[in-house]
Structure 1
Amino acid sequence: MYKNGISYAKCTAMVLLTHVIMLLAILLRGKYDTPQDILPLAAAVIGLDIVYSAVLRLCYRQMTYTLDFVLLLLINISVIFQSCFGGVGFAFKHYVTCIIALVFCQLGFLLTRNHVWIQSKKIVLYVILGALILSILLLTGSRSMWINLGPISIQPSEFMKPVFVLICATSIREQHEKKKILFFYVSKEMMILTGAFIIIVGLQWWCRDLGSLPTFAAAYGCALVCRLCYPKAKFSKKTVIGLSAVGVVLILLALKFAPGYVQDRLSVDIWNQMEGNGYQQCKALIAIAEGGLFGKGPGCGSLYKVFAADTDIVFSTICEEWGFLVALLAILIIMSMLLLPMINKPRSYFHTTMILGVVAVMIVQMGLNIFGSCNLIPFTGVTIPFISQGGSSMITSGFLAGMLKAGQSPVFRKPEQKKKRSVKRKAAVA
């Protein structure tokens, strides 16, 4: 931590205290047979707090560890939530997935903190994106987004999100090489990026998974805004207005010619179809109302019986058992983690674009889940980052958190410096 900030030990203590208070709430208000039922969950949560804090301290030297502590706080809150749905236990599978997400956070940090290195791997990013698209087309079956490997299901479209954000960030430098075509100044890289986005839109449409499409659109939109704000960008106000108008027209056309199941979700009256298309949303709204501010108690809810209670409508499940205040607090923790890298002054345009893309993806994804559960928008079926059950989503969220961490502690190394150092060492030996 910074010298004028909170000490490392105090941050660890604050995370531990929060989780201990939640475990005490389970002990006092939870649904369980004997107090021993809580011990595996308590040992796992407290153990992860101590081990991860120690590993960070011993193995990593950073400018700040704030995001790591917020992520650890959020991860174990998620483990506690998922272990209480329908009765207090221990969500071992979700716990293991959370640990993998923490590992991928460090991996994302190490891979993206040096923008010079990641810039040199831009072609590799396009290859990975293409491979993920082909895997969806060839391995998922008929118009599906899932690859089933026995008991394990993988969603390649989730892994496309960090790759697409990185592609957006690595294409900034080509703004210096714009050419005028008709009335527009465009770069080759921007045209390729737009083509990749169009392919993703077509893929999502073909697979009938339009719920994830707004997340990719948000990342692309942030990349476009960063290009408009780039010092070398030659965009007039008329061009910006024209592009905005085209975007609005495309959205209206998409709504008008959307598939039948999307049209049903847009026009459904959930209270008149409580046993049909409005079943999940009705149950979700009823659960939020019954939970009130403080909830029924951990494990005391009934929404867990509804399909996707721990994924697509997890916000309602938390509201029912823990109360609206606790659910809102969890969302605020996610928001604080997303805002942390934006507080510090960005040190490169690459990191700025990358951070904005990650924040846009997570906020849109979180908003779709919450607003869908509350019936403010049509039900989309996407997850809340770090809170919902799901391996692909959790691992992807961990990698995205690592990209945010890289924005806080970037590394700048020029390849020429290594050569100079090696020459100096040889001279010294001679």
Structure 2
Amino acid sequence: MYANPIAYGFSCISVLFAHIAMIVNIYFNGNYKDTRDVAILGAAVIIIDISYFIIMLFFRQASYALDFLLILILNMSFIFQSCFGEVNFDIKHLVTCIFSIASCKAGYVLCRNHKLLQEKKKLIYGAVTTVLLINLLVDLIANEMWIKIGSFTIQPSEFIKPLFVLACATSIEEQQRKHKILFMNIVYENITLLVLTAAICLVQVKSHDYGSLPTFLGIFSVGFLLRICYPKAKFSKKKLASVIAVIFVFLLIGLKYAPDYVQHRLHVDIWSDKTGDGYQQSQALIAIAKGGWFGLGPGKGYLSNIFAYKNDIVFATISEEWGLLYALMSVLAIVIMTAVPLINPARSYYHGTISACVCAAFTVQMALNIFGSCNLIPFTGVTIPFLSSGGSSMMVSGFMIGMLTACLSPSFKEPQHKKQEASVPAWRWQE
């Protein structure tokens, strides 16, 4: 289905207007040395907008809502990142935004055909295992979570997320392939997924990447729930209660035997330790209060001097310079992106489970970052999708939006080998 020209044009104008309004705000209220810096930033944003509007027309989709929201939030993020401390064109973040757009289109193309994805399930499990091993090797050899390539860093654990979403995705047909073991009907794939989740958690703990654990557990919880509670499923409430109880017990064990620095973060009073572990959170809260609803002005904030201001506490950095209103609007745009596939349900149960798992990942990440910055939960250092800087995070987030777009515009083509089998004459089968 091609885009409605009127709706498409109106959406293009709305996105352009939003970005131009931000550039105007920088011109009148920003901290910059030369007006050419503002002009160059504005020109880059407008060129990216128009280029993407044209690129979108080459993809046949049932809906372009997610694409418009994606380019809206990406260029908002590019403007934010180019203004922290002083208006300065952030070429590195621009490159990651472009990669995010490209990975979005790749995710759309690769995830449209759910039949093909189901057939390649073993390859997906293999890919997750391979990335897990790479993650483990990087930790063992370099004692880090990142692979450094020049000025860019790659975080292998980020690339596990979309693969893990595909591993968690299922169809009703798959869940009906049950095997009786003792007194229980078991789906072998569900057991495999449970083992894979345990392996991911163990590797993340070994790598000391505790912040990513809730995201993976969120994806698994939603995926597993949809596996056992599909329409007309005969599922015992006692079994569901048992699963929840087991998860709760593991959480308690994890909290009890967590390393000392994790235990400290759980109980730290940031106001009595403002120069220690509570430094980032206390400064973030002070900055949000100083910024108020409309901010101090682009480039006029103090948080640009604090460690990880572009990623871990980015919500507070945006709030200080642009105001809490802008920060909430940018987060709302991401929330709407995750809500669109739920408001317009996918046309297959497989794509529906993909949508739910992606939404779970985004929701958990945003909650961890924002609530952590605001001292509502212990500080984790997890990034906000699209708003935080980081090449791996941006690329993976873009790919997952492409997955959501594919769920809204699925392809129901039969796998190629089945078509070839169907075209073989009956007399050949008899031979």
Task: Tell me which interval the TM-score lies in, with the shorter structure as reference length.
Answer: over 0.9
Match of 2:79 in 1: 80
Q: Which amino acid aligns with 2:91?
A: F
Identity of aligned residues (%): 51
Question: How do 1:175-186 residues align onto structure 2 when only pairs under 5 Å count?
Answer: 175-186=175-186
Q: How far did 1:184 drift?
A: 3.4
C-alpha contact 1:311 1:390 (8 A) present in aligned 2: yes
Q: Tell me whether 1:305 sits opposite 2:305 in the alignment.
A: yes
CA deviation map 1:112-133 (0-9, x unaligned):
0110111111111111111111
Residue ranges of structure 1 left out of the alignment (5+ in a row) = 425-430
Match of 2:229 in 1: 229
Match of 1:427 in 2: none
CA deviation map 1:176-201 (0-9, x unaligned):
22123345332110111000000001
Q: Which amino acid aligns with 2:81?
A: Q
Measured in 1, the distance between the counterparts of 2:389 and 2:45 equals: 17
Q: What TM-score results when the alignment is normalised by the length of structure 2?
A: 0.94
Alpha carbons of 1:352 and 1:210: their partners in 2 closer, same or farther (altered >3 Å)? same
Question: How do 1:383-402 residues align onto structure 2 when only pairs under 5 Å count?
Answer: 383-402=383-402
CA deviation map 1:23-51 (0-9, x unaligned):
00000100011211112211110000001
Q: Which amino acid aligns with 2:84?
A: F
Q: Tell me whether 1:53 sits opposite 2:47 in the alignment.
A: no
Q: Which amino acid aligns with 1:281?
A: Q
C-alpha contact 1:185 1:235 (8 A) present in aligned 2: no
Measured in 2, the distance between the counterparts of 1:5 and 1:243 equals: 50
CA deviation map 1:252-307 (0-9, x unaligned):
12111111111010010111111111011011111001000000000000101100
Measured in 1, the distance between the counterparts of 2:171 and 2:113 equals: 15
Q: Which amino acid aligns with 2:78?
A: V
Measured in 2, the distance between the counterparts of 1:398 and 1:169 equals: 19
C-alpha contact 1:79 1:95 (8 A) present in aligned 2: yes
Match of 1:248 in 2: 248
CA RMSD of aligned residues (A): 1.9
C-alpha contact 1:176 1:232 (8 A) present in aligned 2: no
C-alpha contact 1:175 1:233 (8 A) present in aligned 2: no
Match of 1:127 in 2: 126
Q: How far did 1:174 drift?
A: 2.7
Q: What TM-score results when the alignment is normalised by the length of structure 1?
A: 0.94
Alpha carbons of 1:276 and 1:105: their partners in 2 closer, same or farther (altered >3 Å)? same
Question: How do 1:192-231 residues align onto structure 2 when only pairs under 5 Å count?
Answer: 192-231=192-231
Q: How far did 1:232 drift?
A: 6.3
Match of 2:376 in 1: 376
Which deviates more, 80-89 or 1-10? 1-10
C-alpha contact 2:2 2:61 (8 A) present in aligned 1: no
Residue ranges of structure 2 left out of the alignment (5+ in a row) = 426-431
Alpha carbons of 1:308 and 1:146: their partners in 2 closer, same or farther (altered >3 Å)? same
Measured in 1, the distance between the counterparts of 2:172 and 2:200 equals: 20
Tell me the number of residue pairs that the alignment of Structure 1 and Structure 2 aligns: 423
Measured in 2, the distance between the counterparts of 1:64 and 1:327 equals: 26
C-alpha contact 2:138 2:144 (8 A) present in aligned 1: no
Measured in 2, the distance between the counterparts of 1:401 and 1:3 equals: 19
Q: Tell me whether 1:326 sits opposite 2:348 in the alignment.
A: no
Match of 1:147 in 2: 147
Measured in 2, the distance between the counterparts of 1:178 and 1:83 equals: 54
Q: Which amino acid aligns with 1:15?
A: V
3-state SS in 1 of match to 2:211: coil
Q: How far did 1:171 drift?
A: 6.8
Q: Which amino acid aligns with 2:219?
A: A
Q: How far did 1:146 drift?
A: 1.1
Match of 1:65 in 2: 64
Q: Tell me whether 1:40 sits opposite 2:43 in the alignment.
A: no
Q: Which amino acid aligns with 1:361?
A: A
